[in-house]
């Protein structure tokens, strides 16, 4: 600490770096959740809501779009570690992450509002997808391919269609579900139903 | 026609009943597509955009909410007739309706905006679901139950899960698809993939 810093009066309770970052992210999500479209959102409004100066924001994010991508990404749970043994077990883990995110009404609301702006901000949504969605898709794709190679899945599997089937079935359940209303074994039931199919052969 | 009517000057090209109705529905959807939330929408704005008087609107709809429900319902294709023979064929027809709606960018945009207002207008969304979504769900449920009874589907089928699987897989495909970019046989591929399953037994 320099003499300059130690002698400058600082406001009491001034948030330190990490605390400020969290306040900025929360302020961004709050404003979006309150219905503020990405177009209306300003660094000024975020700074004011977070109780920080604009320079504190600009030290971390060079523009609004970078900040929104980071803020939206915090709504997604991190990719869980996979055991890499049973393909069925790994698929259940991957789907269960989607279930765990479903109950969060605020998160769903924010995503809805952000998505309604997607046409106006294609680059933002593209970056968000790349950051928060692509790693999951890649993990599911590798797991399915591993299953084809190991014989745990059918040899002629349409991997893209299988991904749509697993994620889509979970999405269909999470989309309209009241918070926390999904059965704990939903991911397991979806994976097993997808494995055996709905035809008479099961 | 009374003498009064025949002698009253009428503006040229004044829309007749059906034409006015279409203009009102279109104006409502246009305003929503331009980003006007349901809360901001007014009968005045709709009348002005449609080029009709407010009374013309009130003759048909007693309030804004009724009008929005009717307008949103026009975005959904009507329920197609089912042959009622092969369960596989009927499921394909039911899913293909969802595909046919996917390419309409305007329709998707309107639904996104309307859905982002859903938390503020739960009764409106509930009525829309009942009007435009429930009949489809009911048709799919009956078809699946018929398949269980006839042996075309597995005897222990979880009907709700099967519905989520079929609709969810299609939704997952239509959600991000550029307009008209979906393969013509997508519904057929989804139904067949769901019937045989992704497991090694296929």
Q: Beta-carbon neighbour count of residue B18 at 10 Å?
A: 8
Q: Are A57 and A46 in contact (CB under 8 A)?
A: yes
* ipTM confidence: 0.74
Averaged pLDDT, A117-136: 81
Cβ of A158 within 8 Å of Cβ of B118? The answer is no
* Percent of chain A with pLDDT strictly greater than 90: 51
Q: Quick one: fold of B15-73?
A: Arc Repressor Mutant, subunit A (1.10.10)
Which residue in B162, B170, B201 is closest to A198 by CB distance?
B162
What per-residue confidence (pLDDT) applies to B177? 61
Give the range among A113-117, B61-65, B70-74, B142-146 with minimum mean pLDDT.
A113-117
pLDDT at A1 over 50: no
A36 CB near a chain B CB, below 8 Å?
Answer: no
Residue-wise pLDDT for B123-176, tens only, equals: 887 888 888 889 999 999 999 999 999 999 999 999 999 999 999 999 888 876
Q: Does A49 touch chain B (CB under 8 A)?
A: no
Q: In Å, how far is B37's CA from the nearest CA of chain A?
A: 10
Q: What is the mean pLDDT of residues A171-177?
A: 78
CATH code for the domain defined by A87-196: 1.10.357.10
What b/e readout covers B65-91, taking b as 16+ CB neighbours within 10 angstroms?
bebbbbbbeebbeeeeebeeeebbebb
Q: Point out the least confidently predicted range of A89-103, A168-182, B29-43, B155-169.
A: A168-182
What does the alpha-carbon distance between residue B63 and residue B57 come to, in Å, rounded to a whole number?
A: 9
pLDDT at residue number B146? 97
In 10 A of CB A56, how many CB atoms?
A: 18
Question: Residue B178: is its pLDDT beyond 70?
Answer: no
Residue of B nearest to A144 (CA): B198
Domain ranges for chain A: 16-67, 87-196
Residue A177 touches chain B, beta carbons under 8 Å:
no
Among the listed residues B23, B20, B55, B49, the one whose alpha carbon sits nearest the alpha carbon of residue B36: B49
Alpha-carbon distance of A153 to A146, in angstroms, equals: 9
The CATH code that applies to domain A16-67 is 1.10.10.60
């Amino acid at each position: 600490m320099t003499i300059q810093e130690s002698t400058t009066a600082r406001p009491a309770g001034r948030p330190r770096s990490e605390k400020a970052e969290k306040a900025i992210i929360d302020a961004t999500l709050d404003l979006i959740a309150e219905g503020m479209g990405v177009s209306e959102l300003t660094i000024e409004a975020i700074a004011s809501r977070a109780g920080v100066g604009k320079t504190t924001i600009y030290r971390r994010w060079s523009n609004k779009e970078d900040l929104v991508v980071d803020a939206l990404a915090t709504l997604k749970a991190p990719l869980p570690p996979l055991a890499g043994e049973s393909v069925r077990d790994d698929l259940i883990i991957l789907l269960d992450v989607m279930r765990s995110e479903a109950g969060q009404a605020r998160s769903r609301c924010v995503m809805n509002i952000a998505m309604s702006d997607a046409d106006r901000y294609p680059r933002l949504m593209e970056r968000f997808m790349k950051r928060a969605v692509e790693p999951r898709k890649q993990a599911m794709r590798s797991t399915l391919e591993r299953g084809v190679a190991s014989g745990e899945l059918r040899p002629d599997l349409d991997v893209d269609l299988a991904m749509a089937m697993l994620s889509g079935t979970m999405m269909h359940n999470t989309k309209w579900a009241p918070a926390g209303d999904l059965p704990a074994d939903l991911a397991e039931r979806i994976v097993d139903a997808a494995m055996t199919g709905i035809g008479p052969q099961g």
